[in-house]
Amino acid sequence: MTSVNVAIIYYSSTGTVHALAQAAAEGAEKAGAEVRLRRVAETAPPEAIGANPAWARHLEDTADVTEAGHDDLAWADAVLLGTPSRFGNPASQLRAFIDTTGPLWFQGALADKVYSAFTASNTAHGGQESTLLALGNTFHHWGGIIVPPGYTDPVQFRSGNPYGTSHVAGDGPPGEVSLQAARHQARRVVDTAAALKAGRAA
């Protein structure tokens, strides 16, 4: 199988999206990919973080996770972006990272890669699909090849979201269905990226 580099770049405030990102990393690695798991920088003010003990604790617990940089995007053959849904849109922390990528975009360095996304919201119907579709707008501008999970595995009929893995955080931490869905999505991304890479090399 053709070797594939996968960057999983995410933002998580209290740990839900972090858990999905870890599951995606497991799925990508099991599919044979070289994986970089990266978190974007926290931009919220300390008083906002301090007002939520779970937020402050998660920030401390993940201090050893490397922050995402432009080199991670340039290195990757495929990229999965993860974010909580904020009023139906990606979190501002992830958007802030995306908004710095203009130089890479201008050079064409973001084009022709495989892209996919995953999310979580506090409530059911809390903006999950619109958040994933909003990230799709970015992928279109980058010239990316969008690979959704669709209904390509039995777990997708249980998770129910063809746009990307999603989880209702108000129900508690991600369970096995959400984690399996994240692993499947990452495997599908790796398989597609490998096929594209092999085809270009042929």
The tens digit of pLDDT for each residue in 43-99 reads: 999 999 999 999 999 999 999 999 999 999 999 999 999 999 999 999 999 999 999
User: What is the pTM assigned to this prediction?
Assistant: 0.97
What average pLDDT does range 159-183 have in this prediction?
97
Please report, for the domain that includes residue 169, its CATH number. Answer: 3.40.50.360
| Residue 188 one-letter amino acid | R
Distances (CA, A) of 173 to 83, 142, 196: 15, 32, 35
In terms of residue numbers, what domain contains 100?
5-201
- What is the number of structural domains in the chain? 1
Query: Mean pLDDT over residues 102-124, rounded?
Result: 97
The three-class DSSP label of residue 35 is: strand
Q: Which amino acid belongs to residue 51?
A: A
> Does the pLDDT of residue 1 top 70, yes or no?
no
d(CA 68, CA 144): 19
CA distance 120 to 178: 10
